[in-house]
Amino acid sequence: MKETNRQIVLASRPQGKVTSANFRLVETPVPELKEGQVLVRNHFLSVDPYMRSRMDDAKSYAAAQEIDVVMGGGTVGVVVESRNPAFATGQNVVGMLGWQLYGIDNGTNLRVIDTTHIPMSAYLGVVGMPGATAWYGLNKIIAPKAGETVVVSAASGAVGSVVGQLAKRQGCRAVGIAGGEEKCRAVVEEFGFDACVDYKAGNLYQDLKAATPKGIDGVFENVGGECFETALARMNPFGRVALCGLIAGYNGQEIPLRNVRSILMNRLMVRGFIVSDHLELWPQALGEIGMLVATGALKYRETVAQGLEQAPEAFIGLLSGRNFGKQVVKLI
């Protein structure tokens, strides 16, 4: 191939907050395919909070991102050349080809997708890993019953917005926590939550108390810190917590936890989970969510950055809450 690939690699490990200096844009030739391989021209790449923990060389559930190697992450694109009989030129595929224009895979990590009724980028968000995360945490950990109250932090995000909508479909009262009036308004008016509390308003406990008059039965926690502590103080006996993310600590700071007594006194079940541990359930989860998206029954939002070179800034913005919904980078 004569094409030149453009890639974003990790140049250095962040010390605290991530900066643009931690990344580097490089150009490399696109190599010739070997037997069994597939060449994909990526159209969108995914930017996700979990990438921050991988940038540190510390023990985690996934291997650390290597220095001077393409930043890993989800992608959707089109097959432009194939030496693998399972894939044909022109097919749309989702995979984990990282922050680059072109990616090569042996087909093991690629899945053909149908973009007739679902936009390509949605396979990185609502009909992808974030959607599967929302589905698993709600259904397999919180397991809500009709009439119960489910609270979701980062409710305007790619995961949280789906959790609340699925909870509503199961007859629950869905209460979100988000930052700012605009996001809270969309959580209620667009995503259909019963209420949304603005944690930036400075009255988190009283506002959450007013929004959860019957207490809280389930918490889908994406943030940690004050949001989680406040929710714990409102929990009902035998409540369930699906601990999905800790955005409050993604820059390396420790996250203290108060109201731990509530876990004991209310006999709470608190379970952290990583959705990649449950790949066998992804077809069911994404099948159900995909049908809802295709029929317009489930709403979602995206923040789209233009161009590969904008990926680092999009990631930095994600970690500081500047995005609305799923953050993606459009490459073509």
Coil, strand or helix: which one is 188?
helix
Number of domains in the chain: 2
On whether both 142 and 203 belong to a single domain, the answer is: yes
pLDDT at 110: 96
Which of 276, 293, 318 terminates a domain? The answer is 276
Closest to 100 measured CA to CA, from 56, 45, 63, 155: 45
Burial class (CB in 10 A: 0-12, 13-18, 19+), 300: buried
Helix 282-294 to helix 129-136 angle, to the nearest 10 degrees?
110
On whether both 137 and 119 belong to a single domain, the answer is: no
On whether both 99 and 133 belong to a single domain, the answer is: no
Give the Cα separation of 245 and 228 in Å (integer).
11
Mean pLDDT (10-residue bins), the chain, 332 residues: 88 94 97 96 95 84 89 97 98 98 96 97 98 98 98 96 98 97 97 98 97 98 94 98 87 82 97 96 97 97 97 94 94 91
Residue 262 in any domain: the answer is: yes
Quote the domain boundaries for residue 86.
4-125+301-330
Residue 281 in any domain: the answer is: no
Which of 261, 276, 291 terminates a domain? The answer is 276
On whether both 72 and 160 belong to a single domain, the answer is: no
Distances (CA, A) of 69 to 11, 26, 85, 139: 8, 10, 29, 36
Distances (CA, A) of 55 to 46, 64, 69, 147, 316: 16, 6, 11, 41, 13
Closest to 159 measured CA to CA, from 210, 102, 220: 220
Residue 196 in any domain: the answer is: yes
On whether both 24 and 159 belong to a single domain, the answer is: no
Helix 160-169 to helix 129-136 angle, to the nearest 10 degrees?
50
Give the Cα separation of 288 and 113 in Å (integer).
15
> At 98, which CATH number?
3.90.180.10
Distances (CA, A) of 181 to 178, 191, 291: 8, 15, 31
Burial class (CB in 10 A: 0-12, 13-18, 19+), 179: middle
On whether both 231 and 141 belong to a single domain, the answer is: yes
Give the Cα separation of 288 and 192 in Å (integer).
18
Closest to 166 measured CA to CA, from 189, 143, 184, 185: 143
Alpha helices (H) along the chain: 50-54, 129-136, 160-169, 181-189, 204-211, 226-232, 261-265, 282-294, 311-319
CB 227 within 8 A of CB 243: no
CA dihedral (199, 276, 76, 63) positive or negative = positive
> At 159, which CATH number?
3.40.50.720
Give the Cα separation of 171 and 321 in Å (integer).
29
Q: Calculate the CA 294 to chain-centre distance.
A: 20
Residue 295 in any domain: the answer is: no
